[in-house]
Structure 1
């Protein structure tokens, strides 16, 4: 595809009412989205890395470091439902934005609700914790799908530049996660939980303001659809169907079954933490013999789900049907990946706190502080450089947005320098539990470009092989943890190098598998069905997240009954088996995909 010059690119943007000033060869609006996503991810991951640790930390009367003393099973049940719902609500938020709100307004609504959620959580009382998590789930539903929709709309006339734009945007995601987990985690564990939860809320609020004040930069991009646009979209959909596709409207029975499975699935999601935390089992009436009522509900929901999917598949033409079956197979295996990978939010947090030797002094502390300083200062300096470039280009058009951005970065620099000074002047220190979680974002930023270049080369393997590689490489990380924890006695702690290496392999596995999934959904599914199949894809991720939290909550029980090494072997063996199976399915998947590369 031919390249477009910066001058013609800028001119075409201005014709669409978008600010034509370019930063690093891309519209200034991309970097507004970059920083909005960065502050949202800062807040999301800053809170996420604290939640399980806070819930399961012992109660210490009157101390700012007092947790709630929950059992990991209880904490896992709550976190699992929260994580599961985070992947369900964006389906509805995207529909509302498409039809009524417009992408920009939906983002603002979502960001405002999430800000309220973080504010609630800073009080860390039961009522406000549940209100906060609920607000974060709802806010994410509005925010998450519509940020990428704005980006896509901004680049719809420049598809050749879209890959680069998404790469930059993805760096914003990881930069936010990196600094959120580092700084919110440090404040929470060194000063008090209120400070960590509160900092997440402050930057969510400032990120919302930064985006709101940047409205002039986007022109009409992301505005609510007009009546003419809605009618045009209908006509385009009616006249541009894939030749192998044919209309397949939902029947009345389909609708009834979808409502039924949704009710049963949500009932399970809420009943799991209710029964384990409050002893309130609202589904006890469904119990069949030894099978708990909530398990009967989720099994019934899955049966109805498969019935609807299979009945709908039979109504498609052969090519479309088989391509959709390929997507479903990929979605099935993605469950096993996220079931293991998302231990980073549950069992690995508990493992880092209770089983990893985090105490440093002398030369070891000095080396760690130098490494930590470089990890903090270098990326922060690079991102600040981008802020300066953006401010230079857009100050005249969106001054308030730039002022808010300057306040954000002044705050981040201040907290980072205070943190580093505090650690450099300490004679001995204990690394925070949350520090290990930043390894995932750091390794993504480090290796993402190299992995993408491999996929663009002649060594690019088929999708099934990438999936298998992702599962097996990630499993190696858990294998290292199982080896490192083998034979340790109670009270003996593991070297931190095992956990760092585990995060390295988890990240390499993620880079093999995660970017591939959504790409293949968009390639294999007819345009008219993309929303439905994306919903199915996110449902698979939601199930994986819920399973991850349930299994992660069993870390103490499995360790007591067997060993810590046995616990990690579960997440070594299962993904390896799944990885081998999906690679063996390559010939079948190749036939089902009918030439899609």
Structure 2
């Protein structure tokens, strides 16, 4: 008796669907292109227009560069919401990933050009491409497994290794390419590997026949469009009042901050209203409770990435200017330090997953919510080493690269506790007909965390790195602790979704043993 439940016509390799490896490679090359560019972006913007071996940069201030970095990395993920909607209601996940990959190839191609208009257009195309590809390829991974399939978590862990293998290759190679041939050669390399990802995805369609297909609505009683959900908002006084308050605050933000923040707040108001109406329309209290837990888990996601994404911004600039990067006479390119995160993930992903599996077998706490809260705390302690680095810099005018290595190590362990776990958690709790949308909301929460990271990084100009790193350490440990204290009531609201998964695993294992007898 098999301990797994295969979809019809599904081929397997090493106990997993072959389609997983197609999506693994597609995502690996997409992440190479994204992280390669992410590693260069702030450094390129702050490099002076003349006098640098890597070629002319934009010559912006740190504050200006971090501001744009925050907007860019936020929009890359926030666009996952319309990307998920397009997949749900128009194209399906499979075609959305294809079109997203094509747009990404165009975006990176435009960035090879040196004109400022090409810089902005290229960023815009990358934002659109990732918005279509990112949420839908992750949802397709979940679609490879039937409900209760015990291979799901391991499948997402394998998929997550692909993400970080792409990041590792990018941050190891792109810095060397830029040092030799300049900034725009680095941008061009990102485009070349995205073409490889596109070719791999097209070739692998025969292994993805059963997933990601668009099924047009047949107008059944239970099928509700997003437009209908918004129209029902006006028939619900409580939700309408709350949405109106958010709208007023958005308009206030428009006039007191600037138009960009105003647009962001209006977008968040629209999404919040939609989520409220989805909650109201869910069929049972069990689904409503699970939906609520899912939304609360997104708070942890925002906080985690708001701290973690200092890697591409403030920590990147700190490495460039304040860290002794001399390694036996060789000056290590700043970009290469970001490869530590991906390298540590590849080294420790299996070990961390094994630790949680053993803990679960012993009957100890190993729920997704616990892992996510603990991940925030562990990542937060990584900033303790950045505090030590900042203190050393204030004393001697330079800090050891060892502090960076230790910080990235703790950040990585924290990431392994929250990021792949959150992806799997969404596919367990999200209502099926809103699966792609909720994956989009998850990535939008990641994007908001990225914007928070940019705002926090900008404040270093006023408060100094030591204060910022200390503040992040204290805040993340407190938030993680609060969620651990709330663990029991939150688990009750999931109505045993993970316990049922464990029970199914036990039943399948017992059946396998009986078949052997």
CA pair 318-32 structure 1, distance change in 2 beyond 3 A: closer
User: Counterparts of 1:137-536 in structure 2 under 5 Å?
Assistant: 137-156=127-146, 159-215=149-205, 217-218=206-207, 220-221=209-210, 224-225=213-214, 231=218, 238=222, 250-252=229-231, 254=233, 286-287=254-255, 313=279, 318-361=285-328, 428-457=329-358, 458=362, 459-486=364-391, 488-489=393-394, 492-536=397-441
Q: Which runs of 5 or more residues in structure 1 are unaligned?
A: 240-246, 269-282, 362-427
Aligned twin of 2:472: 571
Aligned residue among 21, 24, 32 for 1:34: 24
Q: Could you say which residue in structure 1 is the equivalent of 2:491?
A: 590
SS in 2 for 1:250: helix
Give the corresponding residue for 1:66: 56
8 Å contact kept, 2:152–2:424? no
Partner in structure 2 of residue 112 of structure 1: 102
Instruction: Tell me the TM-score normalised to structure 2 length.
Output: 0.82
8 Å Cα contact 2:78-2:448 kept in structure 1? no
Deviations 1:15-56 (A, max 9, x none): 73x6x5x64454544333322222111111111111111111
Tell me, yes or no, if the aligned pair for 1:284 and 1:292 is still in contact at 8 Å: no
Following the alignment from structure 1 to structure 2, what is the Cα–Cα distance between the partners of residues 106 and 304? 22
Change (3 A) 1:219 1:297: closer
2:513 corresponds to which residue?
Answer: none
The structure that has the greater radius of gyration is: 1
Shift of the 331–429 alpha-carbon distance from structure 1 to 2, 3 Å rule, reads same
1:32 touches 1:214 (CA, 8 Å); kept in 2? yes
How many residues align? The count is: 486
**Helix, strand or coil at the partner of 2:330:** strand
Name the CA shift for 1:333/1:150 in 2 (closer, same or farther; >3 Å). closer
Question: What is the rounded CA distance, in whole Å, between the counterparts of 2:278 and 2:409 in structure 1?
Answer: 41
**Structure 2 unaligned spans of 5+:** 499-517
Local SS of the residue matching 1:456: helix
Distance of aligned partners of 1:112 and 1:311 in 2 relative to their CA distance in 1, 3 Å threshold:
closer
- How big is each residue's C-alpha offset from its partner over 1:537-578, in whole Å with a ceiling of 9 and x where there is no partner? 33322211111112113333322xxxx321211211110111
Q: How many angstroms apart in 2 are the aligned matches of 1:547 and 1:205?
A: 32
Deviation at 1:180, TM superposition (A): 1.0
Kept in 2: contact 1:336–1:574 (CA 8 A): no
Shift of 1:589: 1.8
The equivalent residue for 1:539 is: 444
Taking a change above 3 Å as real, the CA distance of residues 330 and 311 of structure 1, as seen in their structure-2 partners, is same
Between stretches 432-441 and 482-491, larger displacement belongs to 482-491
Task: Check conservation: 2:142, 2:424, Cα contact below 8 A.
Answer: no
Deviation digits for residues 470-526 of structure 1, max 9, x if unmatched?
Answer: 111111110111022215338711100000000000111111222333433343444
Measure the CA separation in 1 of the matches of 2:426 and 2:103: 30
Q: Tell me the TM-score normalized by structure 1.
A: 0.72
- CA 1:286 to 1:452, structure 2 compared with 1: closer, same or farther past 3 Å? closer
Cα drift, residue 99 of structure 1: 4.3
Shift in Å, 1:98: 4.3
Distance 1:76 1:466, change over 3 A: same
Conserved 8 A contact 1:88-1:141: yes
* Distance in structure 2 (CA, Å) of the matches to 1:470 and 1:112: 35
Corresponding position: 1:92 with 2:82: yes
Secondary structure in 1 matching 2:393: coil
What is the CA RMSD across the aligned residues, in angstroms?
3.8
Per the alignment, in what secondary structure is the counterpart of residue 399 of structure 2?
coil
